[in-house]
């Protein structure tokens, strides 16, 4: 018997050792460009939910973790709901994402701040190379669901993104998603 089960159509994980974490709007301070609008919205609104199966100790070399992320549809002003995004702490560690349901974009950034995206649709598989920051935005009207697999030694560096952000943001412009470059200060 396997330890955990993947529900094929929903991408959800179930079984002993699967942990679930939720991110509400209240926990995403300064993530979106329009902080005043974020503050004016329902702070209990669920923006995304992450499940992880981590069969080996965090930081241990050679293991693999398996996850599921669900991003709910919506926007803060004209910026799509999205994950915080991160580099891996052990910078040169890669990851796979693959989309199960919904429509969105994987936003990628190199260490110089160059930012680009890959469209996510059901069945799309995304190889995220080492040294590349990654975040996902939901550009559709339904939830965006994807699974992930990453090395147990990777770790998550959120601080760099908190400080510098990504080089561009995914905004709705004339009814369509568009990557808008941040202005250099």
State which residue, 157 or 172, has the beta carbon closest to Zn ion. Answer: 157
Contacts of the segment 1-4: beta carbons below 8 A, 24+ positions apart: 3/53, 3/55, 4/53, 4/66
94 binds, among ligand F6R, Zn ion, none (CB under 5 to 8 A by kind): none
Quote the CA–CA distance of 18 and 31 in Å, as a whole number. Answer: 27
Residues 6+ apart with CB under 8 A from 53: 3, 4, 13, 15, 17, 18, 19, 65, 66, 67
Quote the CA–CA distance of 67 and 104 in Å, as a whole number. Answer: 18
Site string for ligand F6R, 134-173 (x = CB under 6 A): xx------------x-x---x-x-----------------
- The interface region with Zn ion, picked from 20-28, 93-101, 119-127, 135-143 by CB under 5 A, is 93-101
Shortest CB 150 distance to ligand F6R, Å? 4
- The interface region with Zn ion, picked from 2-10, 90-98, 139-147, 163-171 by CB under 5 A, is 90-98
Quote the CA–CA distance of 146 and 118 in Å, as a whole number. Answer: 14
Question: Does 49 engage in binding with ligand F6R (CB under 6 A)?
Answer: no
Binds ligand F6R by CB under 6 A, chosen from 28, 32, 83, 177: 83
Binds ligand F6R by CB under 6 A, chosen from 28, 49, 76, 95: 95
Residues 6+ apart with CB under 8 A from 127: 94, 96
Q: What is the DSSP letter of 37?
A: H
Binding site for ligand F6R (CB under 6 A): 50, 67, 69, 83-86, 95, 134-135, 148, 150, 154, 156
């Amino acid at each position: 018997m396997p330890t955990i089960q993947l529900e094929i159509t929903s991408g959800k994980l179930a079984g002993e050792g699967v942990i679930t974490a939720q991110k509400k709007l209240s926990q995403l301070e300064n993530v979106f460009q329009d902080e005043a609008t974020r503050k004016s919205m329902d702070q209990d609104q669920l923006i995304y939910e992450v499940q992880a199966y981590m069969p080996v100790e965090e930081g241990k070399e050679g293991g693999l973790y398996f996850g599921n992320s669900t991003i709910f549809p919506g926007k803060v002003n004209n910026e799509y709901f999205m994950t915080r995004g991160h580099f891996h702490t052990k910078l040169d560690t890669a990851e796979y994402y693959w989309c199960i349901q919904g429509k969105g974009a994987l936003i990628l950034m190199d260490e110089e701040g160059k930012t680009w995206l890959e469209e996510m649709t059901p069945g799309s598989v995304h190889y995220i190379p080492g040294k590349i920051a990654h975040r996902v935005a939901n550009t559709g009207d339904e939830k965006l669901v994807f699974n992930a697999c990453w090395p147990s030694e990777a770790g998550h560096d959120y601080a760099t993104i908190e400080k510098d952000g990504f080089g561009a943001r995914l905004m709705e412009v004339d009814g369509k998603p568009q990557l808008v470059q941040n202005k250099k200060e």
